[in-house]
Structure 1
């Protein structure tokens, strides 16, 4: 029986998680959440490459470009900036420098739908670039600032797939977590933070 096609468009984003990768095992020791994700764009460019002969196209191939991520947050906590950007801290002071070395990280986030379903997006291996420092004067009204961070991702070996991958997707119906859990295992090598021993679920603190 043919599976029914789904034409619902996403209406929101939620649950942005990252973990620092062990480059040998491709797993993470811990998964961290950054709350209040506002926007995210994953660019996976491709362009056709043509071979010519007899004044016509003889063959076509596809060239894939770099996977880039631009994400906007209400605020990125300092604890996460230290990890994502590879910053140094000394007695409460956090410093940026030309020799900062951001670690390889993996990322998972969710696109949400009005019917309660979620599409999970996993990015297996990449690096975040430090964000700009901006500010503006307060005027007659109150305007909240936001923070934009960018990252570059690459292909990585992911268990269950024959070739290396740079993005993996899985969708769950409302109340279901099967593909979410499989994606967390594939990307981070561990369960979603809400899954505890015994297979039951609890809401993570602060969610």
Structure 2
């Protein structure tokens, strides 16, 4: 039976260290949207005067675009490794975003959670869009895009995990441990 999914909450992320572990995480509030694009190249090979076989290259790209009302300094420190001096965020020209893992949830119409975890990626620096207030306020979100790759084994590394609460084997702690391994 098909279900309808809606909502977005519980966005959490943490830095992936050199051992592919995520020792600490932080929550990000004020999420407006999350969009995942997955690229899986398919090629149809012709033989015997027609399509013969379809080959897949596997997942060749995974992007997550998020919009948040404000990306606070503490989140920017984790995502980008920026320095904060005298209360100012300092962006050096040699800045390289950090590897992070993240997860968030949506729900089905019966209230069951669908958890999405992305295991290792870097987020682009956010731009900023503002405009003068003319009457009622119209806030603009910060949008950032993360590019995610496999974490771990080069041959068999996982890129993304989706866990559905309506699956009888669902276990939130096991999902969290897979997205944010501590040791």
SS at match of 2:5: coil
Per-residue Cα deviation, 1:74-110 (whole angstroms, up to 9, x for no partner): 2211110122122222222212232101111101111
SS at match of 1:81: helix
Q: 1:69 aligns with which of 64, 69, 72?
A: 64
2:89 to 78, 86, 94: 94
1:19 aligns with 2:14: yes
Q: Deviations over 1:31-76 (max 9, x none)?
A: 1000121110111122321333455334320133310010111221
**2:42 equivalent among 44, 48, 52:** 48
What number of residue pairs does the alignment pair up?
179
Match of residue 112 from structure 1: 107
TM-score if structure 2 supplies the norm length? 0.88
Misfit runs of 4+, over 4 Å = none
User: 1: distance between equivalents of 2:7 and 2:66?
Assistant: 13
Q: Under a length normalisation based on structure 1, what TM-score does the superposition of the two structures give? A: 0.78
Residue range with higher mean Cα deviation, 162-171 or 136-145: 162-171
> Which of 167, 186, 189 is equivalent to 2:160?
167
Cα distance in 1 for partners of 2:3, 2:87 equals 47
Structure 1 unpaired stretches of 5+: 1-5, 191-207
Paired residue secondary structure (2:92): coil
Tell me, yes or no, if the aligned pair for 1:156 and 1:164 is still in contact at 8 Å. yes
Q: Determine which structure has greater relative contact order: mean sequence separation of CA pairs < 8 Å that are 6+ residues apart, divided by chain length.
A: 2
Gaps of 5+ in 2: none
Report which of the two has the higher share of strand: 2
Q: Is the 8 A contact 2:163 2:170 kept in 1?
A: no
How large is the Cα RMSD of the aligned pairs?
2.2
